[in-house]
Structure 1
Amino acid sequence: MITFYPGPSKVYPQIETYLRDAYQSGILSVNHRSEPFMQMLAGTIKILKSKLAIPEDYEVYFVSSATECWEIIAQSFMISGFHVYNGAFGEKWMEYTRKLRTGVSGRYFDCNELPATDFAKELSANEIICITHNETSNGTVIPDAFFKELRLKTGNLIAVDATSSMAGVALPWTDGDIWYASVQKCFGLPPGMGVMVVSPAAISQAKEMGEAAHYNSFLFIRDNFLKQQTPYTPNSLGIYLLGRVLEQVPSIAEVSEEIKQRAKDLYSFFENVGFAPLIENDAVRSDTVLAIKAEGQRLSTIKSAAKSAGIVLGNGYGSWKENTFRVANFPAITSADVTALTTFFHSATVV
């Protein structure tokens, strides 16, 4: 089966070899305070920062998932928060933050529009701005220019959910302070690990708050990572596989260019065979997750026929569950996979 499900999605085929290598190397059985583990952790962080062009003074941490990052941000960085969202995952993040912090507010914006940045002048200095870079539920993206404008208008910390875009497209790192993602999307890895990228300003705020009451308190995590260790027994396999995958992939500039061009081609293709994108405004269409409109019997027929042809499409999500399907455009997906997809959609039985 060829999977275009937007996470967990296709893993790089080299993972099969890397799994065997991990087993044979013995790294899966070493203590996470031992020298071999410390070298592996440091090496993976170094190549991650290099391949994704992460600023030198930003720090990288590995946790269990992007969802855990919601908790870490609320506990360790936030006094209050302001969430800007247009879809299910941005809204879920806000709802979870409200379970941990009082004074959390939000603003919904239409998925065919950009949010205005006028809210920035209304915020207190303590409010962290929380925004989803790439909304997986509806296939939207926040362009780099928005983050640049927002950064110019406020000194507040900016936390960004980049779960379905990190490692797929170049990110404007310095226009955000806490970026996070999970590895089962653009990283092309099995699920089970999250990546946090944190600015010096965010680290300073965490130090000022001094929160250290939880096993995953940021300062506790950081104290260990500074020693090239982890506070709790980590996903050693995930860290190993991430390092190996990053060795093989091109720089993010090259990957991003390929992903963006392929997204452009796919949107054009779907429109040419009679399928409209959910997002009408191409300025806010995601390059990594395409949401395509199809309703009723047509939607059911498409998904069933695709499965019979050995292709897994993503279901619609949230408000768009019954009128869309989603197509992942992640780096592990090959040109041959895309050819199989387009060949299928040329079939008279689905168009």
Structure 2
Amino acid sequence: MKDKLQLMIPGPTPVPERALLAMAKHPIGHRSKAFSDTIAAVTAGLRWLHQTQNDVFILSASGTGAMEAGLVNVLSPGDRVLCGVNGKFGERWADMADVFGLQCERIESEWGTPYSVEAFAEKLQADTARAIKAVILTHSETSSGVQNDVEAIAKLAQEHGEALVIVDAVTSLGAASVPMDEWGLDIVASGSQKGYMMPPGLGFVAVSDRAMAATQTSTLPKYYWSFAMAKKNLSKNTTPFTPAVNLIYALQETLTMMQEEGLEAIFARHALLRDATRAGARALGLGLLAPDSHPSSAVTAIEAPAGINADDIRSLVMKKFDIALAAGQNQLKGKIFRIGHLGFICDRDILTTFAALESALREVGYEGFSPGAGVTAAARVLAG
């Protein structure tokens, strides 16, 4: 049936009708009083979502743009940084640091394995000269479904005293708790097409006072990304450059929806959807890439049965049921598929996905489960 696509990927995610209708409004002047009132409202909502008193800047960009803005505003060529790498996005931030001439030390773990907190502790505690200027972390590693222990590593950075904590929260913000002030995070970057329940196009950067102070000595070039200009304009409830006006209408609506649900309820819903997904996969005899100790609240990476290409499973689910699952990336291509369960996702979406998945598994010749096992296991978790 046409126009029945169901997105079960870690972004873009489904967009609620309230947000779509908000986007359909006629744009207004971005220097008008009415739009300044909108910026004031969404800024308050963003601070609530980030659990912070700090400024949160809105960029017309992707999450990658938000991360780049974080790096170039607080660092200088030659600065020593530590970067956690246990998936595609950790690799991206390390590559970006290399491009900007930073002295980037990768702290690597296998894909599907969480960061070694001990490895970060060793590096930070050995740095008696306080030469490490930043620790760059990915909270929810989208490529593998691992949720890293950012809180523990941020505490180590605070004890170090010099290193800023720069966090990719692109798939965790709005799906898991990221209490910026409580954890002592300095830069938190995210993107609109994930837990915010919006189309792609907006990036967000929450910036601590320590990070703003670091902008005074940073020598990496920036203009469009300038936090100094962003802060000056935000104090007047405006933006330095023309923003994506209609996306900000949608943002205002989805932040309102989140506030209606409440932070704790949001996090509990995502945890339940995660647990149901993992239970459903196990009931089908399928392996999970991320350990039970560090599962992402946003996405679950599932191993294909032996001898079966994961992309064949995905292709059938899309062709027969119009349900989009995400592929494995890099060395995991064809070995895993990923189910996104963040944003505007509910119990029905999980159960529908597992019913379709069971059908596809049968069609590719996998018989390592009893019919209905995945749906039953997921439903049992969802029922509490």
TM-score normalised by L of structure 2 = 0.83
CA distance in 1, matches of 2:187, 2:154: 15
Unaligned runs of 5+ in 1: none
Query: What pairs up with 1:1-351 in 2 under 5 angstroms?
Result: 1-20=5-24, 22-23=25-26, 28-30=27-29, 32-50=30-48, 52=49, 54-56=51-53, 58-63=54-59, 64-79=61-76, 80=79, 81-110=81-110, 111-115=112-116, 116=118, 117-123=121-127, 124-125=130-131, 127-143=133-149, 145-147=151-153, 149-155=155-161, 156-174=163-181, 175=183, 176-209=185-218, 213-249=222-258, 250-279=261-290, 281-294=291-304, 297-307=308-318, 308-347=320-359, 348-349=362-363, 351=366
SS in 1 for 2:286: coil
| Structure 2 residue identity aligned to 1:173 | M
**Is the CA contact (8 Å cut-off) linking 1:128 and 1:157 kept in structure 2?**
yes
**More displaced 10-residue stretch of structure 1: 74-83 or 115-124:** 115-124
CA deviation profile, 1:78-129 (whole Å, cap 9, x unmatched): 1322211111111111111211133222221233243222221234345111
Quote the Cα distance in structure 2 between the aligned partners of 1:201 and 1:86. Answer: 27
| Equivalent residues of 2:52, 2:179 under 8 A apart | no
Residue 224 of structure 1 aligns to a residue in which SS? helix
- 1:234 and 1:113 map into 2 onto residues whose CA distance is 36
CA shift at 1:316, angstroms? 0.9
Counterpart of 1:329, as a letter, is H
* Alpha-carbon distance in 2 for matches of 1:77, 1:151: 16
For the residue of structure 2 that corresponds to 1:67, the secondary structure is helix
Q: Distance in 1 between matches of 2:220 and 2:317?
A: 49
The answer to whether the Cα contact below 8 Å between 2:70 and 2:189 also exists between their aligned partners in 1 is: no
Q: Is the 8 A contact 2:233 2:240 kept in 1?
A: yes
Over 3 Å counting, the alpha-carbon distance change for 1:217 and 1:253 in structure 2 is same
Give the Cα–Cα distance (whole angstroms) in 2 for the partners of residues 258 and 49 of structure 1. 21
Distance 1:212 1:218 in 2: 12
1:73 Cα shift? Answer: 2.3
Superposed structure 1 runs of 4+ greater than 4 Å apart: 210-213
How far did residue 210 of structure 1 move?
A: 7.4
Unaligned runs of 5+ in 2: 367-384
CA distance in 2 between partners of 1:73 and 1:286 (Å): 23
**Aligned CA distance change for structure 1 residues 306 and 213 (closer, same or farther; 3 Å):** closer
What CA deviation, in whole Å up to 9, does each residue of 1:255-291 have, x standing for no partner?
0011112211210111111211112x21122121110
- Supply the distance in 2 between the matched residues of 1:47 and 1:11 (Cα, whole angstroms): 18
Normalised by the size of structure 1, how large is the TM-score? 0.91
Q: Which residue of the partner structure matches residue 369 of structure 2?
A: none
Whether the 8 Å contact between 2:190 and 2:204 is mirrored in structure 1 is yes
**Residues 298, 342 of structure 2: 8 Å contact kept:** yes
Distance in 2 separating the partners of 1:319 and 1:47: 39
Q: Which whole-Å CA distance do the structure 1 matches of 2:240 and 2:212 have between them? A: 17
Q: 1:3-42 deviations in whole A, cap 9, x for unaligned?
A: 112111222232232223x22xxxx131x22211111111
- What is the aligned length? 342
Structure 2 counterpart SS, 1:346: helix
